[in-house]
Amino acid sequence: MAHTDVIVLGAGIVGTSCAVHLAKRGLSVALIDRGGAGEGTSYGNTGIITGETLFPPAFPDWRALLRVALKRSPQVNYHLGSLPRLAPWLAAFAAASRPSRLIETARVMRPLFARAVAEHETLAVEAGAERYLSRGGWLKLYRSDEAFAAQARELELAASYGLDAVPLDRDGALALEPALAGVFRRAVHWTAAVSVSNPLALTRAYAARFAALGGVALSGDARTLHRADGHWRVETEAGPLDAGDVLLALGPWASDVLDPLGVRLPLAVKRGYHRHFRPRGNAALSRPVLDAENGYCLAPMEQGIRLTTGVEFAARDAPPTPVQFGRLLPAARQLFPLGEPAEAKTWLGARPCFPDSRPVIGSAPGQRGLWLAFGHAHWGLTLGPSTGRLIAELMTGATPFCDPQPYAAERFTR
């Protein structure tokens, strides 16, 4: 029977980064996916490595909620039929959106975010992938003074953590991004963020680095995971593979494996779409921009300008309903000269989310040798490599670089 020290299930940015960190510590590691590295959720994000993130998106206030309910919100869409099943998750999300809880979330997530850029830069250098990273930060644009003023608390907190957020007036932002139209009033330049011009290529480069370290990539279905002869076993296209330790990094698909094992965690998905557009004429963007009130981002990618949407609450596998584009496109075209779409179809992904907007990183309750790294919500690209470091330290018994307790699965099972 083939045997390896560790099997990593899922080759998204999280699983691939974890596999690299484990291989670097001298373990024999197999990285198993049913597709290619980085082709899941990690394919289609906005490409922002936002190490300065503080507050997660919060449950909307009643005014915003009314717009959502009436399906007039550009930020949020939902499938009515999914709501009964989502109700407990939404209630927990609303509770975690209270101001005191948001500040607590910012505090406990800080160590992971604080290391995010440095860990990516190290991996990117090792993987020869620096050309995909650009160090221009990102811009949040506010069309009204009211929306800008609502950020005051976050800016104060940023200052208290020593994070660099530069408030700008319209001209200041236009000096950074001259192709934008001045349809906004204020902006904040989060200067330390790094943007990625091709998230798929970045994950593939990290996967190549894993292979160069002696790691083995295999094709297989994670749902075949079971215990046999005192080990964990997964069926792969190369035959069954055993390991003493398994790390589950399946992002939005994690429950497919955990539920049958009796490990029930409150994972839901916030779906999101993207589409690439060719810019008109010579128009270009140097960094991603968020149109705050409209909830979409425009990001410069190798494929064109990537327009990514906010959130859709729906079953993970329900057919795509990209209605948000209809609500967003007029605002996006007003802001930036978007030309023709670069492809015929929209891309749909599913952000894996826990209601407290923290990932689960650590051991699986009641399952010896099973480890978890998923649920990174809006920040899986950002947090993949720092998660990789933390889980590799935990799995090898090294001193973890931060307190892992806030990310423990037991917070849901106690």
Ligand X SMILES: Cc1cc2nc3c(=O)[nH]c(=O)nc-3n(C[C@H](O)[C@H](O)[C@H](O)COP(=O)(O)OP(=O)(O)OC[C@H]3O[C@@H](n4cnc5c(N)ncnc54)[C@H](O)[C@@H]3O)c2cc1C
- Alpha-carbon torsion, ordered 101, 102, 106, 112, to 10 deg: 80
Among 8, 11, 193, 307, binds ligand X (CB under 6 A): 11
Residue 137, interface with ligand X (CB under 6 A)? no
Residue 324, interface with ligand X (CB under 6 A)? no
Residue 22, interface with ligand X (CB under 6 A)? no
Q: What string marks each residue from 293 to 322 as x (binds ligand X by CB under 6 A) or -? A: ---------------x--------------
- The least distance separating ligand X from the CB of residue 145, rounded to whole angstroms, comes to 26
Which region, judged by CB under 6 A, interacts with ligand X, from 46-54, 71-79, 172-180, 333-341? 46-54
Q: How far, in Å, CA of 123 to CA of 285, rounded?
A: 26
Q: How is residue 204 written in tokens?
A: 């593939």
Decide whether 4 or 42 has the Cβ nearer to ligand X.
Answer: 42
Residue 48, interface with ligand X (CB under 6 A)? yes
Q: Residues 6 or more apart from 199 whose CB is under 8 A from it?
A: 13, 38, 42, 43, 44, 45, 47, 381
**CA 338 to mean position of chain CA atoms:** 25
Which region, judged by CB under 6 A, interacts with ligand X, from 22-30, 77-85, 246-254, 390-398? 246-254
Count the Cβ atoms, other than its own, within 10 Å of residue 320: 13
Residue among 293, 366, 308, 309 at smallest CA distance from 142? 293
Which region, judged by CB under 6 A, interacts with ligand X, from 5-13, 20-28, 80-88, 144-152? 5-13
Q: How is residue 125 written in tokens?
A: 């250098």
Residue 380, interface with ligand X (CB under 6 A)? yes
Q: What string marks each residue from 346 to 375 as x (binds ligand X by CB under 6 A) or -? A: ---x-xx---------------------x-
- Interaction with ligand X in 178-217: which residues (CB under 6 A)? none
Decide whether 306 or 414 has the Cβ nearer to ligand X.
Answer: 306
Q: Check if the beta carbon of residue 49 is closer than 8 Å to that of residue 129.
A: no
- The least distance separating ligand X from the CB of residue 204, rounded to whole angstroms, comes to 11
The answer for 47, left when phi > 0, alpha when psi is -120 to 50, beta otherwise, is left
Which region, judged by CB under 6 A, interacts with ligand X, from 39-47, 60-68, 160-168, 398-406? 39-47
Pairing mode, strands 289-291 and 296-301 = antiparallel
Which region, judged by CB under 6 A, interacts with ligand X, from 66-74, 106-114, 252-260, 402-410? 252-260
Residue 46, interface with ligand X (CB under 6 A)? yes
**CA 253 to mean position of chain CA atoms:** 14
Amino acid at 42: S
Among 26, 35, 260, 330, binds ligand X (CB under 6 A): 35
Decide whether 251 or 322 has the Cβ nearer to ligand X.
Answer: 251
Q: How far, in Å, CA of 71 to CA of 220, rounded?
A: 40
Q: How far, in Å, CA of 287 to CA of 47, rounded?
A: 10
Residue 376, interface with ligand X (CB under 6 A)? yes
Among 4, 8, 10, 51, binds ligand X (CB under 6 A): 10
What b-and-e string marks burial along 247-273, b requiring 16 or more CB atoms within 10 Å of the CB? bbbbbbbbbebbeeeebebebbbbbbb
Q: Check if the beta carbon of residue 387 is closer than 8 Å to that of residue 17.
A: yes
Residue 13, interface with ligand X (CB under 6 A)? yes
Q: How far, in Å, CA of 264 to CA of 214, rounded?
A: 34
Residue 274, interface with ligand X (CB under 6 A)? yes
Decide whether 68 or 185 has the Cβ nearer to ligand X.
Answer: 68
Decide whether 175 or 294 has the Cβ nearer to ligand X.
Answer: 294
Q: How is residue 91 written in tokens?
A: 């209630």
- Interaction with ligand X in 215-234: which residues (CB under 6 A)? 221-223
- Identify the residue whose tokens are 């399946």: 250
Q: How is residue 307 written in tokens?
A: 């327009």
Which region, judged by CB under 6 A, interacts with ligand X, from 12-20, 104-112, 206-214, 333-341? 12-20
Q: How far, in Å, CA of 382 to CA of 163, rounded?
A: 16
Residue among 175, 200, 391, 384 at smallest CA distance from 286? 175
- The least distance separating ligand X from the CB of residue 11, rounded to whole angstroms, comes to 5
List contacts with ligand X (CB under 6 A).
10-15, 33-35, 39-42, 44-48, 221-223, 249-253, 256, 272, 274, 308, 349, 351-352, 374, 376-382
